[in-house]
Chains A and B, each alone.
Chain A
Amino acid sequence: MVKASQQELEKYKKLQKKYTPPRPWFRNAIQAFLIGGAISMAGEAVRQFFIFGMGMSPKTAGPPTSSVMIFLGALLTGIGIYDQIGRVGGMGAALPITGFSNSIVSPAMEFKREGWVMGVGARMFTVAGPVIVYGLLTAFAVGFVQFALTGGKG
């Protein structure tokens, strides 16, 4: 194998830069806004149903709203629609809790052939695992500071 000289490497990098299409960040942002906004608005409809239809307080309506959105995200992933939404929406589809649900179902389906334990059981948490780990770590740190400042009076 011949090693490329420094000059050749520089040249190659320049060529690579020239031919790599720039990320259409502006279009991506608009699409993320529309899809993310639409999913949030659907979530608001569910939340208002629990508040005004079921007479829940805004606080108690939180977990059931999340649960319905998780269900919808999983179902749309199962029938193959959420991946299409994700291709358009990018983080607009990934950041809402429906995307969290998608991140659980999608690899679990994909890796079913690796078995029920190390396939489905483990792959469910490919993304959800880190989200829970770092979410809880940060929340714990925040809570610890609050505890230190207030003696745990909240």
Chain B
Amino acid sequence: MPSASTFLYAFLIGGLLCVLAQLVVDVIKLTPASTMVLFVSLGAIASGIGLYEPLTKFAGAGATVPLPGFGHVLVQGISEGMSKKGFMGLFAGGLEAAAMALTVAIIIGYLTSVLFNPKG
């Protein structure tokens, strides 16, 4: 059964990651785009040293919806690819794991920008 605590942890962890990103923008003064890039990479590194998987278990979408979760998906895909295909998996695994999200982003993104015009 869905539990209320998972929703709470999703809110807290998701919110906290966003606060860290906001502080990087306001205090270190990186641009939002650079901060997004930085956090994807940090997610990949955190995943590599085994920190991110426990976080997804604990906070669910609070860890997978923010962009570090994308880095985690890539790293997980690569290590899964390597255990199945060896060296070739190192190259194939990342995008294989991200394939659905990226394809949806490209198709939906394209259609939306064709159908809608900027407001204001």
Q: Which residues of A contact B (CB under 8 A)?
A: 23, 25, 28-29, 31-41, 43-48, 51-52, 58, 62-67, 69-71, 74-75, 77-80, 83, 89-92, 94-101, 103-106, 108-110, 112, 120, 124, 126-128, 130-132, 134-140, 142-147, 152-154
A-B contact pairs, 28 of them (CB 8 A): A28-B25, A37-B10, A38-B11, A43-B65, A44-B6, A47-B61, A48-B2, A58-B57, A77-B112, A77-B116, A78-B112, A78-B116, A83-B119, A95-B17, A95-B35, A95-B36, A99-B36, A104-B113, A109-B112, A124-B106, A135-B37, A138-B41, A142-B45, A143-B94, A147-B87, A152-B83, A154-B79, A154-B82
Whether the Cβ atoms of A96 and B65 lie closer than 8 Å is yes
Q: Which residues of B contact A (CB under 8 A)?
A: 1-2, 6-7, 10-19, 21-27, 32-33, 35-37, 39-41, 43-45, 47-48, 56-57, 59-62, 64-67, 69-71, 73-75, 77-80, 82-83, 86-87, 89-91, 93-95, 100-102, 104-106, 108-110, 112-120
Whether the Cβ atoms of A36 and B15 lie closer than 8 Å is yes
Beyond A79-B116, A94-B32, 15 additional contacts (C-beta under 8 Å) are: A25-B27, A28-B25, A33-B16, A40-B65, A51-B2, A63-B101, A89-B18, A103-B36, A139-B74, A140-B91, A140-B94, A142-B75, A142-B78, A152-B82, A152-B90
